[in-house]
Chains A and B, each alone.
Chain A
Amino acid sequence: MNQKDMMQEQELLELLKDYPVPEAQAGFYDQALVQAAHQGARRNRNRWLLTGFGSAIAAGLAIWVITAMLMTTPQVPDVDPAIPGVTIALEQEQTVRLVFASAMALDSATLTVSLPEGIELAGFPGQREITWETSLEEGKNLLPLTLIALTPAGGELLARLEHKDRNRTFRLLVEVS
């Protein structure tokens, strides 16, 4: 970096340091707190489901139905002789929709999606593991996952549901065409 660049860098840093941001409007914090208290618990319980069903309306690629989500306590992934699979196109966002059928409503369940190398979840670039806290309603709960294949390798996607000391892991084979 030459002398001129250094002077410009210094000028830039001073400018950035002073770059203003307005304060919140009077009363905004108090209103936000009230809203959080009113909506927090209910919205936390419902957000995932709303998102799931909303996105499900859009055109998707595949539906993978998982039935009888019993929340038994296997500590290792289920051994399923017929692991469901899906094929997605390289470098194109495509939605895989998972359906979890729960025998009962579950609050504060944790859902962790583990992705194979070269597969990303839209909105989570570079992350191989994404965890949500969510709730399940009795009956069918839909979870759309928008996947992007960055390489043609494909692999196994794991969706792990945990509730208290119980957990269950589901597998999905992702192939890239």
Chain B
Amino acid sequence: MTDSDQSHVFERVVRPHFDRLYRLAWRLTGSKAEAEDLFQELLIKAFGLLHELVKIEEPGSWLCRVMYNLFVDQHRRFVRQRMHLVDEGHLPGEGLAGIAGDLDPVAYSERVDTFRLLDAALQQLSEDHRIVVLLHDTEGYTLIEIQEITGAPIGTIKSRLHRARARLRQILADDGTFS
């Protein structure tokens, strides 16, 4: 297969999953720059594994799993080493630009404020808890899908989800978001 053929095959296999993968990258990293880096890293790795990728029945799930492993293997360790720089680059609420703009100005402003508080609350969770609650309650992944992506046992995922929700409720009640 020529380089051009490889590129076309690769694009045909991976492009249908781009939106899902980009969202996953966002949920894992919490910032645009890091999401783009992780997304790019995944594609580079996946291209090198094209011979394996084309044989997979559900490449979307495989790509999600590889992305998660990349995040754990490289990204999380990188973040740990550069904690101060990550704080500098990650402003809570960076993702709020995606709010639909059909609200009146007052309602829009209130909505933005609420999501900022939610964003700040999510930052107080452990990484494992934050990822589970975002994948399940925000992105709509099933417990089985989360298990396939993260490799964590179902019981552990359920426990993390329960604890993450309880902690978020507590934080949002304490800051007045919930009456």
Query: What is the interface of chain A, defined by CB distance below 8 A to chain B?
Result: 5, 8-9, 11-13, 15-17, 19-24, 28-29, 32-33, 35-37, 39-41, 43-45, 108, 122-124, 126-127, 133
> Nearest chain-B residue to A13 (Cβ)?
B137
- Contact present for A44 and B138 (CB under 8 Å): no
Q: In the assembled complex, which residues on chain A have CB atoms less than 8 Å from the CB atom of B90?
A: none
30 A-B residue pairings within 8 Å (CB atoms)? A5-B169, A9-B165, A11-B178, A12-B178, A16-B138, A19-B115, A20-B98, A20-B99, A21-B23, A21-B98, A22-B26, A22-B97, A23-B19, A23-B98, A24-B18, A24-B19, A33-B14, A35-B43, A36-B47, A40-B45, A40-B47, A41-B48, A44-B44, A44-B48, A123-B72, A123-B73, A123-B74, A123-B77, A126-B151, A133-B49
Please provide the chain B residues from 96 to 128 with a CB less than 8 Å away from any CB of chain A in the complex: 96-100, 114-115, 118-119
- B77-99 CB contacts (< 8 Å) to partner A: 77, 95-99
- With A8-B178, A28-B36, A40-B47 known as contacts, the answer to whether A21 contacts B26 (CB < 8 A) is yes
| CB-CB under 8 A for A40 and B48, given A12-B172, A32-B40, A123-B72 | yes
Contacts A17-B137, A24-B22 hold; do A127 and B151 have CB atoms under 8 A apart? yes
**By the criterion of a CB under 8 Å from any partner CB, how many residues of chain B are at the interface?**
53
A37 and B1 alpha carbons, distance in the complex (Å): 13
Tell me the complex Cα distance, A11–B43, Å. 37
Q: A50: shortest Cβ distance to chain B, in Å?
A: 12
Residues of A within 8 A of B74 (CB): 123
